[in-house]
Amino acid sequence: MRIECIAIGTELLTTRRLDTNSVWLGERLADLGLAFHRKTAVGDHREDLAELIREALQRSDLILTTGGLGPTFDDLTKELFAEILGAELVEDAAARVDMLAFYAARQRVPAQSNFKQVLIPMGAEPLRNPVGTAPGIWWPDPPGHPGARIVMLPGVPREMKRMWEEQVEPRLRPLAGRPTHTLRLVVAGVPESTLDERIREVRQAHSHLDWSILASLTQVELLVRSGETTALEAVRRDLKPVLGADLVSVGAGNLEDAVLQGLDAQGQTLAVAESMTGGLISARLTAIPGASRSFLGGVTVYSPEAKAALLGLPPDFLAKQGTVSEATTIALAEAAKAKLGATWGLAVTGNAGPGAEGGAPLGAVFLAVAGPGGTLSAGRAFHGDRPDVQLRGSGAALDFLRRQLNLVLNY
């Protein structure tokens, strides 16, 4: 079966907007033992999109599109498929009811333009959109293309994902090949290239599997795919000793999850004090449901006033130690721990640029963890622009704490 993905939106060609939908869809297809033959991004231009749709109908059995289902003038996906396939657009009563309900629930009235969204090509089925106003389209055996299938999904990732999981995947399952299983391991504190070398022997011993390494700014993911769960079990067994304490999690979890699980497992609590990371650590932790079980709170002490007022650091101490220093970071971690009566206090200071900050060089980051057994601190030097250094700093801090929590767990 030839499958292609079409991501629709001028922003995908002209701005820094990356097409992450097709990446997610590629992984869901892999779960079904299916794969894309190609992925195309095209703008909201009638001629370009129409040309691509005509080509795709000739060469592919399954066409997945994202985007271009909205209410605005430049949303053309459904209209062009219908036009090219010579199918009339008719209003779908259920879709209309869904849309009116969507707005009623928000005490709003749909704009006239919204009603274009409930038009469905004759012969196609609407896919309900439980989280938005744009229904998707499931179009099996479109006119002149028996056996082909067209799936149109909104470009908004949360709408697209939910509709795929609830409505598209069940429809595609009958076409599925042998499902591939994925072993996902998350590693922190090791550069991608070093990790690559460390796992080389294990990878060669299991070279018949599909391996990939994906580095992000705060962790590295190792993905191994196979049709056989036993094969993946063996890989996991072989990798564990090689990865040691750098292994953050096996499965879906990331650095944040590992930290919260480590705290939860021991019924312990955390308080955070951030300057350079400006709230990023708190935000990453509180993005996880249930964070409130172990995360008591945090302070973003972005000024000397804040360090004094919120954590009682004396101005003369700051004047002496500097706003970016190991001593100040230790003091912040201990003050946060004491102030909130938490088991652990985690603090970060640093200079993310662009200018110099408290005399510290660009990319300098200090970490401190105040815990039951005392306080540990460390310094790091990161490269990259401001957002990079802030993100790396927040990751280094979470990983620094995670390693202490594991020490405790291993007792």
Q: Which residues inside 119-138 make contact with its own copies, applying CB under 8 A?
A: 131, 133
For its own copies, the binding residue among 278, 376, 377, 403 (CB under 8 A) is 278
Q: Kindly indicate which of the ranges 86-94, 257-265, 312-320, 376-384 contains the residues binding its own copies, using the contact rule CB under 8 A.
A: 376-384
| Shortest distance, position 158 Cβ to its own copies, whole Å | 6
For its own copies, the binding residue among 1, 100, 125, 302 (CB under 8 A) is 302
Total residue length of the chain: 411
Rounded Cα–Cα distance for residues 340 and 61 (Å): 59
| Shortest distance, position 355 Cβ to its own copies, whole Å | 8
By CB under 8 A, is residue 192 in contact with its own copies?
A: yes
N-terminal to C-terminal alpha carbon distance within the chain: 53
Task: Provide the mask over 78-107, with x wherever binding to its own copies is found by CB under 8 A and - wherever it is not.
Answer: ---------------------------xx-
By CB under 8 A, is residue 305 in contact with its own copies?
A: yes
Point out which residues pair with 48 in neighbouring strands.
none
Q: Spell out the SS3 assignment of 259-278.
A: HHHHHHHCCCCEEEEECCCC
Nearer to its own copies among residue 111 and residue 205 (C-beta): 111
| Shortest distance, position 325 Cβ to its own copies, whole Å | 17
Calculate the alpha carbon distances from 216 to 79, 184, 240, 391 in Å.
39, 14, 21, 10
Nearer to its own copies among residue 87 and residue 350 (C-beta): 350
DSSP for 310-374 reads: HH---HHHHHHH-SSSHHHHHHHHHHHHHHHT-SEEEEEEE--SSS-BTTBPTTEEEEEEEETTE
Q: Kindly indicate which of the ranges 52-60, 139-147, 165-173, 233-241 contains the residues binding its own copies, using the contact rule CB under 8 A.
A: 52-60
By CB under 8 A, is residue 57 in contact with its own copies?
A: no
By CB under 8 A, is residue 46 in contact with its own copies?
A: no
Nearer to its own copies among residue 258 and residue 280 (C-beta): 280
Q: Kindly indicate which of the ranges 77-85, 186-194, 244-252, 399-407 contains the residues binding its own copies, using the contact rule CB under 8 A.
A: 186-194
| Shortest distance, position 114 Cβ to its own copies, whole Å | 6
For its own copies, the binding residue among 84, 231, 242, 283 (CB under 8 A) is 283
Rounded Cα–Cα distance for residues 360 and 332 (Å): 17
By CB under 8 A, is residue 69 in contact with its own copies?
A: no
- Asked whether the beta carbons of 305 and 299 are under 8 A apart, the reply is no
Nearer to its own copies among residue 87 and residue 256 (C-beta): 256
By CB under 8 A, is residue 285 in contact with its own copies?
A: yes
Residues 6+ apart with CB under 8 A from 231: 206, 209
- Tell how far CA 174 is from the center of its chain: 29
Size of the site for its own copies (CB under 8 A): 106
DSSP for 179-240 reads: PPEEEEEEE-SS-HHHHHHHTHHHHHHTTTSEEEEEE-SS-EEEEEEES-HHHHHHHHHHHH
Q: Kindly indicate which of the ranges 72-80, 85-93, 120-128, 369-377 contains the residues binding its own copies, using the contact rule CB under 8 A.
A: 72-80
Rounded Cα–Cα distance for residues 294 and 342 (Å): 9
DSSP for 112-168 reads: GGGGGGGEEETT-EEEP-TTSS--EEEEES-TT-TT-EEEEE-SSHHHHHHHIIIII
For its own copies, the binding residue among 46, 94, 193, 205 (CB under 8 A) is 193
By CB under 8 A, is residue 14 in contact with its own copies?
A: yes
For its own copies, the binding residue among 31, 125, 169, 221 (CB under 8 A) is 221
By CB under 8 A, is residue 16 in contact with its own copies?
A: yes
What is residue 107's three-state secondary structure? coil
Binders of its own copies among residues 222 to 241 (CB under 8 A) are 223, 225
Nearer to its own copies among residue 152 and residue 335 (C-beta): 335
Nearer to its own copies among residue 88 and residue 166 (C-beta): 166
| Shortest distance, position 356 Cβ to its own copies, whole Å | 12
By CB under 8 A, is residue 143 in contact with its own copies?
A: no
Sign of torsion over alpha carbons 91, 96, 98, 102: positive
